[in-house]
Structure 1
Amino acid sequence: MSAIRVLIVEDDPIIGEDIRDMLTSVNYEAVDVAYSKEDAIKVIDNEKLDLVLLDINLDGDYEGFEVAEYINRTRKLPFIYITSYSGKEIIDRAKPTMPMGYIVKPFNEKELFTTIEVALYNFSKFVIPVPLSKDVINAKILTPLTQKEFEILEGLFQGKNNQQLAESQFVSVNTIKTHIKNIYEKMNTHTRSETIAQVNSLLS
């Protein structure tokens, strides 16, 4: 479960599958495609997620905003709006729900991945306003992080995907996956977003 786990909420099956294909091409894990508000909430409640890509206009209504409000009430989980709407009225409704990004259809892979990486980075800074400290974290967990694990943890907070982490550490993607698995075990977490929230708790 070391890949970035993404839920796609999109009522157009063709667009949903296109986004799934884009994600899987760069080592993200598309956990599911939810076609309605109810399906989305069910997946959010039952799956360990890092990010939600959220269509605003579900089933002819602006139910994406309701999903966003549910996330804000129940989870520390970043989401990005994906929508055909770019008018001021919709953007003004979107802003108070605190999305980590806003993508207007049609979009390409580069726009999607750039927005995701910026969103994950900004989310980590939003949740963790103080610098990471290996000593403080290690003092509060049973099994301390190694220096290499801490460096990878820093990369997670910068929104890097597994390939980028591998390149920055000069190791294979499989080695990065092993390190992330060890970090999750030591932090008692299952996803990047859970880990960010856990570190926030430890540093506060």
Structure 2
Amino acid sequence: MIPVMIVEDELIVAMELENFINSKSEYKLVARVNNIDDALYCALEYKPQVILMDINIKGKKDGITSASLIGEKINTTFIYLTAYCDENTVNRALKTSPVSYLLKPFNREELYVALKLASNTYHNLYENCSKVGDILLDKEFSFDSVNKQLILNGEFIHLTKREKELLNLLIKSKNSVVSIYDMENEIWPDKLPNENTRRTLVCRLRIKLNNKFIETIPAIGYRINI
């Protein structure tokens, strides 16, 4: 069964979603929460493959920001639920690559199609990919450039969104230097990071690559040698 989590603070909507999921034998509800703190905790605890996320959930962070945070920690898919479809909200939501965007009130047929799309997307991205990527780094590591997946000895290594962006950038320029300027503008286009943020990201990626491949070119940038 496909594990699903509901993040919704309207009780009636949440109950309708729960009843629908429970009526479908292919899905299993692993958590139903009404706030962002519980959503973050349950996502890490249960690792749902599909998350039904209310955009305007109560709290300091809205559903879009929370989806971005969750997506950096686990492999999952998002279906947004909202009563709003203004351009700014839609553009923010699209940056997190949701599978569907359902406007309230939605019907059961729309919900079922969205769930099928989400589960199929999860399967294609995280379960049905080749266990050897199209770019070989060495005998152990490879990279699936289509789905931005790092693979070690046939097993997927979880990367955060920015780790994926950095690795993809380095691999596209393999054996050539990527300048600090180009790296920062590619990964943080809206707000340039400080030096510590940049170095921390590189360090995290190095650890996941078992300290192989990435070379620092002092005061200039980085190069991946493969």
TM-score by length of 1: 0.60
Compared with structure 1, are the counterparts of its residues 61 and 85 closer, same or farther at alpha carbon in structure 2 (3 Å cutoff)? farther
In the superposition, relative to structure 1, how do residues 129 and 25 fare at CA in structure 2: closer, same or farther (>3 Å)?
closer
Q: 1:14 and 1:62, CA in 2 relative to 1: closer, same or farther beyond 3 A?
A: same
Looking at structure 2, the residues matched to 69 and 84 of structure 1 have their Cα atoms a distance apart, in angstroms, of 20
Write the deviation string for residues 41-63 of structure 1: whole angstroms up to 9, x where unpaired: 11112114221100000117761
Task: Call closer, same or farther: CA 1:60–1:70 in 2, change over 3 Å.
Answer: closer
Q: Output the CA distance in 2 between the equivalents of 1:128 and 1:31.
A: 20
1:110 and 2:109 correspond: yes
CA distance in 2, matches of 1:55, 1:97: 14
Distance 1:100 1:112 in 2: 12
SS at match of 1:52: strand
Question: Is residue 2:19 matched to residue 1:21?
Answer: yes
The AA in structure 1 aligned to 2:101 is: Y
Q: Decide whether the 8 Å contact of 1:100 with 1:123 is kept in 2.
A: no
Distance change in 2, residues 1:127/1:59 (3 Å): same
Q: What's the CA shift string for 1:139-189, capped at 9, x where partnerless? A: xxxxxxxxxxxxxxxxxxxxxxxxxxxxxxxxxxxxxxxxxxxxxxxxxxx
CA displacement at 1:100 relative to structure 2? 1.7
Q: What's the offset of the Cα at 1:202?
A: 2.3
Higher alpha-carbon Rg: 2
Match of 1:119 in 2: 118
**Which has the larger helix fraction?**
1
* Pair 1:128–1:55, CA change in 2 (3 A): same
1:74 counterpart SS class: coil
1:55 aligns with 2:80: no
Q: CA, structure 1 residues 77+26, in 2 after alignment: closer, same or farther (shift >3 Å)? A: same
Structure 1's 129 and 29: CA in aligned 2 closer, same or farther, altered over 3 A?
Answer: closer
Following TM superposition, by how much is the alpha carbon of 1:128 offset from its aligned partner in structure 2, in angstroms?
6.2
Contact 1:11 1:58 in 2 (8 A): yes
- 8 A Cα contact 2:47 2:76, kept in partner: no
Pairwise CA distance, 1:34 = 0.8
Distance 1:125 1:199 in 2: 15
How far is 1:126 from its partner? Answer: 3.5
**Post-superposition offset of 1:78:** 1.0
Question: Is it true that 1:202 corresponds to 2:154 in the alignment?
Answer: yes
In the other structure, the counterpart of 1:42 is 41
Tell me if the contact between 1:81 and 1:101 (Cα under 8 Å) persists in the aligned partners. yes
Higher RCO (CA-CA < 8 Å; seq separation 6+): 1
Contact 1:128–1:200 under 8 Å retained in 2: no
Distance 1:62 1:38, change over 3 A: closer
Instruction: Judge which range, 56-65 or 30-39, deviates more.
Output: 56-65
Task: Output the CA distance in 2 between the equivalents of 1:200 and 1:109.
Answer: 41
Match of 2:163 in 1: none
Contact conserved, 1:56 with 1:62, CA < 8 A, in 2? no
Query: Is the contact made by 2:4 and 2:30 (CA closer than 8 Å) also made in structure 1?
Result: yes
Mapped contact 2:82–2:102 kept (Cα < 8 A) = yes
Matching of residues 1-204 of structure 1 within 5 Å: 3-27=1-25, 28-59=27-58, 63-127=62-126, 130=129, 202=154
Number of paired residues? 139
Contact 1:50 1:77 in 2 (8 A): yes
Distance of aligned partners of 1:57 and 1:199 in 2 relative to their CA distance in 1, 3 Å threshold = same
Residues in 1 aligned to 2:108 and 2:120: alpha-carbon distance in whole angstroms? 18
What SS does the corresponding residue of 2:31 show, helix, strand or coil? strand
Unaligned runs of 5+ in 2: 133-148, 157-226
**C-alpha distance in structure 1 between counterparts of 2:66 and 2:18, whole Å:** 20
